[in-house]
């Protein structure tokens, strides 16, 4: 199974959030132990890099780039199919634009799990959404 990580999960992991990072590490370890793979989309780059670029934190920018280059992390492109499915998801469920695109990327690439801490996304029917707690 491919587990798609929402941008918030990647931020918690890379920025070593004191509460959320251990939860992410634990969940990812269980996924990998089960033979599952991890994925994100190019959209995560946009969301993850905004704050460290705005604050000039080049060390954190470097940490994100290292994560994006990790061979154990698949990076899906934002193709026309993803964008069109994102529009359909937004129209049907009224999710925010970026959330709709993340969900579309996960669905278009056959992910079996979407890991997030955004409980509002739990009602998405096309991919199993797991709320990180």
Q: pLDDT of 37-55, one tens digit each?
A: 999 999 999 999 999 999 9
CA distance 123 to 104: 14
Phi and psi torsions of 124, nearest 5°: -70, 125
Residue 132 pLDDT: 95
Res. 79 pLDDT band, cuts 50 70 90: very high
The pTM (predicted TM-score) of the whole model is 0.96
Average pLDDT over residues 84-88: 98
Pairing verdict, β 113-116 and 2-5: parallel
- Decide: residue 91, CB within 10 A, 0-12 exposed, 13-18 middle, 19+ buried: exposed
Beta strands in the chain, from DSSP E residues, in sequence order:
2-5, 37-41, 73-76, 113-116, 129-131
Residue-level pLDDT at 7: 98
Tell me the CATH number of domain 2-131, given options 3.30.930.10, 3.40.50.1010, 3.40.50.450, 3.30.450.40. Answer: 3.40.50.1010
């Amino acid at each position: 199974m491919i587990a798609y990580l929402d941008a918030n999960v990647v931020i918690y992991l890379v920025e070593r959030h004191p509460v959320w990072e251990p939860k992410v590490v634990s969940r990812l370890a269980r996924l990998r132990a089960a033979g599952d793979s991890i994925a994100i989309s190019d959209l995560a780059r946009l969301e993850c890099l905004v704050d460290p670029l705005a604050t000039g934190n080049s060390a954190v920018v470097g940490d994100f780039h290292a994560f994006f280059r990790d061979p154990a992390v698949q990076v899906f492109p934002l193709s026309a199919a993803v964008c069109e499915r994102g529009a359909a998801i937004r129209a049907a469920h009224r999710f925010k634009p970026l959330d709709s695109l993340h969900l579309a990327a996960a669905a278009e690439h056959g992910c079996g799990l979407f890991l997030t801490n955004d409980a509002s996304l739990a009602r998405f029917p096309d991919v199993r959404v797991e709320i990180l707690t």
